[in-house]
Amino acid sequence: MDTSDAIKVRYEGYEILVEPDLAKEAKLEGKDHDIQRLLFVQEIFEDAGDGKRASAEDLEDDFGTRQIMEAAEEIFEKGDMQLTTEQKKEMRQDKHKQIVSMIARRAQDPKTGNPHPPQRVENALEEAGFNADAMTDVEEQFDEAIDAIRPIIPVSLDEKQVAIKIPNDKAGKAYDKIQQTAEVLEEQWGNEYFFAKIKVPAGVLTELMEDIQELTGGESEVTET
């Protein structure tokens, strides 16, 4: 079996091999996971490179169980994720793209009130020498990225709160758009209408209001609070 794409997680002398995408989502983003689906190979190793499996006796001594899934869960939760150079590179690139997108959505030019285009953000990050960290959540890197580009382009993070009212039969696509663009502070599904209070970057408020109107056929009410 080719395990070259698997990610290794090591804990207290034991190793497991896990699916890259699922492991990243669970370990780095805190998403729920099923250990059985997450394991690339349903084995626990002393040395995965050599294929040396841990014995049931050792598992019982160290984890209090002979069950592979129970021990693997503890190894995954407490262990360190060992990435290859190529995996780290791919994750850095992915985190970088997410940070660019996040800045383009949340920040705006204080002179115009408009968002900075992604390419302008990309250029500013490159000029600032900002490098995304493969192992750190993008939310934790956002402020650092903003600080890095502020000497290069003017950045404002002003936000506004708005209240939204949408007929239930029109709310589905609009709700997806709201979640992509804004922070939902409150929401309520009534008998006929969906109500929400959201916080949104000032630079994208007008665009969001126009999108909601289009998605609901003009049957929505959006008011600043």
DSSP 31-91: ----HHHHBSSS--EEETTTTEEPPHHHHHHHHS---HHHHHHHHHHHSEEE--HHHHHHH
113 to each of 31, 110, 151, how far by Cα in Å? 35, 5, 18
| Tokens at 108, concatenated | 């705006």
Please report, in tens digits, the pLDDT of each residue of the chain (225 residues total).
567 778 899 999 999 999 988 888 888 777 888 999 999 999 999 998 888 999 999 999 999 999 999 999 999 999 998 887 887 888 899 999 999 998 988 888 988 888 899 999 999 999 999 999 988 888 889 999 999 999 999 999 888 899 999 999 988 888 888 888 888 999 999 999 999 999 988 777 878 888 899 989 999 988 887
Helix (H, G, I), strand (E, B) or coil at 152: coil
Residues in the chain: 225
Calpha distance 164→224 (Å, rounded): 9
The DSSP element (H or E) to which 186 belongs, if any, is: strand 183-189
Calpha distance 126→148 (Å, rounded): 10
| Tokens at 176, concatenated | 């997806």
158 to each of 104, 128, 150, 180, 209, how far by Cα in Å? 13, 23, 15, 18, 17
pTM: 0.63
* Extended beta strands in 83-168, E state: 159-167
